Amino acid sequence: MVTMEVIPMADLTAKKRENLPAKDFGLPEKARTKDAKKESGNYPMPDEAHARNAKARAAQQRRAGKLTKAEEARIDRKADEKLDD
């Protein structure tokens, strides 16, 4: 039997999300303003749990045709930097 450790996602309230610097998003150009940070599709990564989630969501959106290969690669690179810290 394989046991997997469940790592809970850290809380990221709307207020915390809007106060994150743009550099903490997978697509920072889509997160330049507080209102833009509230939108989906900019992949916030304040911690490792969100970085892992961003990679998974980016792959999902790429398969759905909503992200380019280059955008997915940028999100993956940003997430990998967060995961390597």
Q: What is the pLDDT of residue 28?
A: 95
Q: What is the pLDDT of residue 11?
A: 82
Considering the domain boundaries, does residue 9 fall inside one?
no
Considering the domain boundaries, does residue 1 fall inside one?
no
Considering the domain boundaries, does residue 5 fall inside one?
no
Please list, residue by residue across 48-70, b when 16 or more beta carbons sit within 10 angstroms of its beta carbon and e when fewer do: eebbbbbbebbeebbeeeebeee
Considering the domain boundaries, does residue 78 fall inside one?
yes
Report d(CA 84, CA 60) in Å as an integer.
Answer: 22
State the average pLDDT over residues 19-42. 94
Query: Could you list the residue range(s) of the whole structural domain that residue 54 is in?
Result: 22-84
How many structural domains comprise the chain? Answer: 1
| pTM for the model | 0.83
Considering the domain boundaries, does residue 10 fall inside one?
no
H/E stretch holding 30: none
Considering the domain boundaries, does residue 61 fall inside one?
yes
Tens-digit pLDDT profile for residues 38-76: 998 999 999 999 999 999 999 999 999 999 999 999 999
